[in-house]
Amino acid sequence: MSELNCKMIYFFGPDGTGKTTHADHVASYLRRKGCRVWRTGVKHHHTLAYLLLKLLSGKNPDGLPLSYYGFNDELKQKIRTPWKILELISLLPAIFYRVLLPQLLGYIVICDRYLLDTLVTLSYFLNDQELITGTYARLLTLMIPKHAVLFYMNASTETILQRKKDEPLTSKLVEYYKLAYQVIIRQVKLKVVTIDTSNAKIEDVKNLVMQYMIEHCAIVEQPR
């Protein structure tokens, strides 16, 4: 059996930038090397807050981020504080069972969505730009392991809209997300590797990811 000297590999960024593709590739690579891998992601439809949103919105947003559905600005202003508390409470079980517990059991956790994505989505949904720079953001980022490897997957707005043309994305939403991620990256006291996938072939991006992994995340062979 083999182990990696980092316990979490986290791909984050706007939809349509290749997070899932490359998280799956890294997970497959590590399994072939004999590592115990836990492939996961913490998304809004895993939380109590998301289920409540479905009831309140009267819509059926299965598989779509919370940010695509919202309330008017006046209502958002009223629900900001209680909603942030509800979101945090409902995230904790998902964080424990999908990320922290597997780590305690000795797995390498591979995420394609986690707390930075939650912050950006929640900020947009509540129209609260300060959320991604304040105490709430600092609290959530503490739940990212100290020795995690973070890949920020980015692409041009035009590329993202083209890749996700069948989904209700707008240029305004994509631009907000991209700016918010840049703000968060400056707040995170962890190494973040930025990869622009706009004009890159999938294989080229895979090579970039794997090159970084090989150089910075040594695989340690364990005695049998």
Two tokens, residue 77: 């202003």
Residue entry with tokens 């059926």: 60
Q: If you ran DSSP here, which 8-state letter would residue 12 be given?
A: E
- Dump pLDDT digits (tens) for 6-17: 789 999 999 999
Question: Whole-number mean pLDDT of the chain?
Answer: 83
- Would you state the torsion angle of the CA atoms of residues 145, 21, 152, 53, taken in this order, to the nearest 10 degrees? -80
Residue 176, pLDDT above cutoff 90? yes
Give the residue-averaged pLDDT of 17-28. 94
Q: Which residues pair with 8 in a beta bridge?
A: 109
pLDDT in the model for residue 206: 92
Residue 145: give its domain's CATH number.
Answer: 3.40.50.300
Sign of the CA dihedral running 127, 125, 58, 162: positive
How do residues 103-159 score in pLDDT, each as one tens digit? 999 999 999 999 999 899 888 888 888 889 888 888 888 889 888 899 999 999 999
- Residue 10 carries which side chain, given as an amino acid letter? Y
**pLDDT of amino acid 71:** 54
The residue-averaged pLDDT of 62-74 equals: 49
pLDDT tens digits, 107-119: 999 999 999 998 9
- Taking the C-alpha atoms of residue 40 and residue 90, their distance in angstroms, rounded to an integer, is 17
Global pTM value = 0.85
Written in H, E and C, the secondary structure of 38-69 is EEECCCHHHCHHHHHHHHHHCCCCCCCCHHHC
How many domains does the chain contain in total? 1
User: Is residue 220 pLDDT above 90, yes or no?
Assistant: no
Six token digits for residue 210? 């794997």
Range of the domain at 82: 2-221
